[in-house]
Amino acid sequence: MRIVFFGPPGSGKGTQAERMSKRYNLHHLSTGLLLREEINNNSELGKRIRKIVESGHLVDDEIVNEEVFSKVKGYDRFLLDGYPRNLIQAEGLDDYLEKEKKPLSGAIFITIPDAEVIERLSGRLTCSQCGFTGKQPLQNPGDECPRCGTILVERNDDRMEVIEQRLVHYYNFTKHLEKYYHDRLLNIDGMGTVDQVTLRLEEALSIWE
């Protein structure tokens, strides 16, 4: 099984990607983390990426592709999370996998209504130390994280205007990818509890097991 994984902010995509990787024994690549890791390691590629990021630009498709290909090389089973972001990357990935004779099984899109995303994300508080997320009024800004004691803050990302922007941004890039993957696409309902969504995904993904 080789899949790409999408979901709007607040859909629980990260958690579900992690669970599916464990459940189906997939090499899990989260590209946001990858690029940061590359920067931290101060590799040649990392230095190039740092320059681009510091200049306020987006890392270009060629570099992202290069990075992803180098990290999936040698793996027969993987899940890509946060990638591809556009058609150039999607086509690049298909070209690469075709050469490797390991075509992509399909694309997963977790779907969830905008109103639900806003409901889930607004008032959310995050621990910068351990990643715990709480919700007002159960937790309030300035409270200590119940797991590690760090002070909880509302991330800029979780403010209403920013949530709306993030949604617009998400649909702007995924609408093209949904078309591109139309013949190997699974839409998974993201409503309900985390465990319910996990069950839905497990069942849906079993076709590629």
Q: Does 130 bind Zn ion (CB under 5 A)?
A: yes
What single DSSP character describes residue 184? Answer: G
DSSP secondary structure, 87-113, as one string: HHHHHHHHHHHHHTT----EEEEEE--
Q: Does 22 bind Zn ion (CB under 5 A)?
A: no
Pick the piece of the chain touching Zn ion (CB under 5 A) from 30-38, 42-50, 66-74, 139-147.
Answer: 139-147
* Residues linked to residue 144 through DSSP beta bridges, in sequence order: 151
Answer for which of 26, 59, 107, 127 binds Zn ion (CB under 5 A) is: 127
Within 84-103, the residues that bind Zn ion by CB under 5 A are none
Pick the piece of the chain touching Zn ion (CB under 5 A) from 5-13, 24-32, 90-98, 138-146.
Answer: 138-146
Are the CB atoms for 206 and 198 separated by under 8 Å?
Answer: no
> What is the per-residue binding string for Zn ion in 144-163, x denoting contact by CB under 5 A?
-x-xx-x-------------
H or E stretch at 27: strand 27-30
Q: Does 172 bind Zn ion (CB under 5 A)?
A: no
Q: Does 129 bind Zn ion (CB under 5 A)?
A: yes
- Distance CA(155)–CA(125), nearest Å, equals 7
Pick the piece of the chain touching Zn ion (CB under 5 A) from 31-39, 81-89, 132-140, 193-201.
Answer: 132-140
Q: Which two tokens stand for residue 160?
A: 């209403």
Looking at residue 109, its amino acid is F
Residue whose CB is less far from Zn ion, 147 or 175: 147
SS3 170: helix
Residues that bind Zn ion (CB under 5 A): 127, 129-130, 132, 145, 147-148, 150
